[in-house]
């Protein structure tokens, strides 16, 4: 977890923020409601066979926090000025709660990325032999500890505390934190995807021209035909890279283009919007592809239970290796011509 010094954090906060009038509570409610609808739609689009992993648990927690924030803002907006448990709540607390959530979301990107990466690395190394219930319980505690640690850092950081306290006297404006973690993480992922595409663009084009949509075990998948199975070696990182790129970009290309536009135009998005479930699942797919590539020597469907991605069907990258005479056993349902 990246910790900023008090002076640096204060300076960055002063330079990177946006202001929204407190009178525009309705707009804030609509934005958060739209985010919740997007979260719900994304969760509903997952494949039913997907088993939750650590990133899935983080996505559920983000959806719950968004819902809790919406409920709090709605109650305060409706009653406007009321006392609960000896605490007086006014429209200032709408800004305060949203600011706290923004700071917490803004510092979550690196911890979530690192813990999810460790989870997949342990998955491939087979160092954990926990049962499904124990694994789910472990994920729950990891998510809870991560949220608690980041929230404690946000509330305990002197510069953040001073900025929250200072705004109490200015009821006409409400600053929202812009996450640097999100910017640099997005930049790093886009750079990796760009370099991978440049180094294997000819193989990617060849694969796209040869792709077929076919049926495998009553499920529609993409199939990359090869002249012979002996010529395909999953242990080769050079051979696996273009297939991973085709699967990743075939699913997330609109999101990749959106991230590229945001980076090029230097769009400043408040952290309470920036951290969302589509973004987390995009990062999840990137991590799975990266771990596949680094552990290509371990990829054998008969020995390793591959991580299930809610959106990208990665197993089509490995079917030619594990299913002999695939073209004779399964009939294609469609052919993509390029």
Q: How far apart, in whole angstroms, are the C-alpha atoms of residue 124 and residue 299?
A: 9
Q: Extract the tokens encoding 91.
A: 């429209």
Angle ∠(102,120,190) on CA atoms, nearest 5: 55
Contact (Cβ atoms closer than 8 angstroms) between residue 247 and residue 44: no
- Residue 80: CB partners within 8 Å, gap ≥ 6? 90, 91
What's the pLDDT score for residue 11?
Answer: 40
DSSP for residue 224: -
Query: For the chain, which residues make up each domain, given as ranges?
Result: 6-177, 184-335
Per-residue pLDDT tens, the chain, 338 aa: give them.
444 444 444 444 443 444 444 445 778 888 899 999 999 998 888 775 555 688 989 999 999 999 999 998 888 877 776 667 767 677 777 888 888 898 999 999 999 999 999 988 887 776 566 677 888 888 999 999 999 999 999 888 777 767 666 655 444 467 778 888 999 999 999 999 999 999 988 888 887 777 666 655 555 566 665 544 434 444 577 778 888 898 888 889 999 999 999 999 988 888 889 899 999 999 999 999 998 888 777 665 455 566 778 888 776 665 544 444 444 444 443 333 22
Q: What is the pTM of this model?
A: 0.79
What's the pLDDT score for residue 284?
Answer: 92
């Amino acid at each position: 977890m990246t910790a900023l010094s008090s002076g640096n954090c204060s300076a960055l906060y002063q330079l990177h923020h946006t202001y929204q009038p407190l009178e525009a509570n309705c707009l804030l409610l609509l934005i958060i409601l739209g985010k919740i609808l997007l979260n719900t739609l994304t969760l509903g689009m997952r494949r039913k066979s997907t088993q939750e992993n650590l990133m899935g648990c983080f996505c559920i927690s983000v959806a719950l926090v968004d819902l809790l924030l919406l409920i709090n803002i709605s109650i305060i907006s409706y009653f406007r000025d009321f006392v609960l448990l000896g605490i007086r709540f006014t429209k200032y607390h709408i800004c305060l709660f949203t600011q706290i959530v923004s700071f917490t979301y803004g510092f979550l990107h690196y911890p979530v990325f690192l813990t999810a990466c460790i989870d997949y690395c342990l998955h491939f190394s087979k160092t954990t032999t926990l049962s499904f219930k124990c694994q789910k319980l472990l994920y729950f505690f990891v998510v809870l500890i991560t949220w608690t640690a980041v929230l404690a850092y946000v509330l305990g950081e002197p510069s953040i505390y001073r900025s929250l306290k200072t705004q109490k006297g200015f009821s006409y404006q409400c600053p929202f934190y812009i996450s640097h973690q999100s910017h640099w993480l997005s930049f790093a992922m886009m750079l990796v995807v760009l370099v991978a595409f440049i180094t294997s663009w000819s193989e990617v084009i060849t694969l796209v021209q040869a792709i077929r949509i076919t049926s495998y075990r009553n499920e529609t998948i993409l199939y990359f035909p090869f002249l012979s199975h002996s010529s395909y070696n999953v242990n080769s990182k050079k051979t696996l890279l273009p297939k991973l790129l085709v699967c990743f970009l075939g699913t997330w290309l609109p999101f990749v283009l959106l991230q590229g536009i945001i980076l090029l135009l230097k769009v400043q998005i408040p952290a309470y919007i920036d951290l969302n479930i589509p973004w987390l699942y995009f990062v999840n797919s990137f991590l799975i592809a990266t771990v596949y590539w680094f552990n290509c020597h371990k990829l054998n469907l008969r020995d390793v239970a591959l991580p299930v991605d809610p959106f990208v069907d990665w197993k089509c990258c490995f079917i030619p290796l594990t299913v002999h005479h695939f073209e004779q056993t399964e009939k294609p349902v469609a052919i993509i011509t390029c």
